[in-house]
Amino acid sequence: MKKSLPLLIFILFLSAGPLLAQTYNEEAKEDLEALKPGTTNFLMRGYSHAGFEVIDGNSSFVSGTFAPIFLWKQGDRLLFESEMEIEFEGDGVQFALEYANISYILNDYLVFRFGNFLTPFGAFNERLHPAWINKLPTAPLGMGHDPVGPTLEFGAELRGGAPLGDTKINYSLYVSNGPILDVHNEDPLEPPTTSITGLNFEDNNDNKAVGGRIGFLPFNNSALEIGLSTQYTSGIGDRNTEFEDVASLSYAADLSFVKNSISAIRGNIDVKAQWNRMDVDEFHIELPDGDEQAINQENSAYYVQLAYRPALSKSNFLSKIELVGRYSGIDLTEPAEHADEEDIVHEAAPPGKAKLSAASLSSVSGGEEEEVHAEGDRTQWAFGINYWITWRSALKFSYQVTDNEETVPGFFIHYALGF
Amino acid sequence: MKQSNIFKLILILVVTITTFIAVGCGASKEASGGDDLGDLGSFQVEKSGAVLWGETCARCHNAPDPTAFSDTQWDAIGSHMRVRAGLTAEETAKIVTFLQQSN
């Protein structure tokens, strides 16, 4: 017994270490388990921008926009996303809900989305509009405020992506409330004003819009994407009005080419282009004198943008510089010529005419047609130099010239931040 | 010439030029940034998460810094981007795994 006692003590000593380590490991494991997230995953992201602008000689600091994005993921298949936009506009703070929807992953190539979502019409509206992604402080003509084509949907969508042989495609197909045709007559002495908006959160009729986008990536490295989009609605006017069956058809083509680390030019090249078109069936509005005028809407907008960044430069400063150039334009329909006398319908307005907000398109007085557009046909050249502080924040310096009936220059210094 | 026709001509020229650049660059050796592609080979070739991260994210914005977010945050962001950009499950999983391993 005495001879085995030292051995026993030695064995106990050897055992103490592992026993203590196991206890420590279990405690550490418990601590780690306490930090382990559950199946609910919530994250807030978003973007903001602010700056200084001089437009047509008028200068102002602009406090910009705060756009938080809320992501809530439950398990592996369910995702909720929402974006708000909070900005100073006019004499107050404006709040807007850009989108709020739920996505359910059906399989490896298909997602079902339901709610309020950005229209997959072209690429700019859905993917490129955030301040830290758009390479210039302003949106291309017809792609930002007062856009040509749909931008927001209240509906249901199937979308996804898949390999297609040696290439790849992505796709979206949706049904939604569709756009609204507003015909508004505030002053009976003035012609009615008309506008088309996408804020159709309580459908104004029983006609639904059907649309979609397909993107084709023909290169192995996904450098090039060509997209085609369309949306059709058989009626966009208010229920039980003469405008209920006014149909609209929109279509768009978009192109994106991005190639990084090109040794021949010591940097990255980024080309973006898009063309939007919206056609609305001809409809008639009643003039103050009882005559009717035909309204045609065949509007289009387009832009081409080229960006170059000398990312392979040996200079750390130059490698963060980006040069951007963009040409954009918007073509709005000329109001239809005043109908010939035999085509004029002299009758009272039908009942049930909606009272809605509007923006003027044209006015007629004294039998002669005046072409007065709220926006007007315009083209714009914009040039910018960006300095990328981080991958998601940049200082933007840009100069743009907008041509309408007058030439309007603008100079911008903006700071854009994604978070 | 109408502005719409000018735009169409510009668009055609842009597509043509960029196509030539893409094909030409694909035939040349480029500095490696994880970009070892440019050929028109099969899309089914297995790509690493790092390669997909460089190619896919750059379609819209700068490729994100992996250290910007935690593992759970990348999980949520990956799902958000999968829906927004029309990515497949495999692409999303590879990119998210790469970002989680690199942060």
H/E stretch holding B96? helix B89-102
Classify A119 in phi/psi space as left (phi over 0), alpha (psi -120 to 50) or beta: beta
What is the pLDDT at residue A352?
Answer: 28
What is the pLDDT at residue A285?
Answer: 86
Q: Between residues A264 and A286, which one has the greater pLDDT?
A: A264
Give the closest of B26, B28, B76 to A263, CB-based: B28
What is the pLDDT at residue A335?
Answer: 53
Say yes or no: A107 contacts chain B, CB-CB below 8 A: yes
Q: Does B27 have pLDDT greater than 60?
A: no
What is the pLDDT at residue A378?
Answer: 92
Q: What is the largest CA-CA distance in chain A?
A: 129
Answer whether B7 sits within 8 Å of A302, measured CB to CB.
yes
pLDDT digits 0-9 by tens, A381-402: 999 999 999 999 999 999 999 9
Q: How confident is the model at residue A351 (pLDDT cuts 50, 70, 90)?
A: very low
- Max mean pLDDT among A154-163, A176-185, A402-411 falls in A154-163
Q: Which residue has the tokens 């020229």?
A: B13
Q: What value does the mean pLDDT of chain A take?
A: 85
- Evaluate whether A222 touches B87 at the Cβ level (below 8 Å): no
Q: What value does the mean pLDDT of chain B take?
A: 74
Say yes or no: A332 contacts chain B, CB-CB below 8 A: no
Say yes or no: A45 contacts chain B, CB-CB below 8 A: yes
Lowest average pLDDT, out of A68-77, A153-162, A316-325, A336-345, goes to A336-345
Mean pLDDT computed over A211-215:
98
What is the pLDDT at residue A99?
Answer: 95
Q: Does A182 have pLDDT greater than 60?
A: yes
pTM of the model: 0.80
Measured CA to CA in angstroms, residue A338 lies from A78, A190, A291, A345, A348 at distances of 55, 16, 10, 12, 18
Distance from CA of A388 to the nearest CA of B (A): 10
Q: How confident is the model at residue A24 (pLDDT cuts 50, 70, 90)?
A: low
In B, which residues are within 8 Å of A390 by CB distance?
65
What is the pLDDT at residue B40?
Answer: 41
Measured CA to CA in angstroms, residue B74 lies from A76, A180, A280 at distances of 13, 38, 43
Q: Between residues A276 and B34, which one has the greater pLDDT?
A: A276
What is the pLDDT at residue A402?
Answer: 95
What is the pLDDT at residue A292?
Answer: 84
What is the pLDDT at residue A64?
Answer: 74
In A, which residues are within 8 Å of B47 by CB distance?
none
Say yes or no: A133 contacts chain B, CB-CB below 8 A: yes
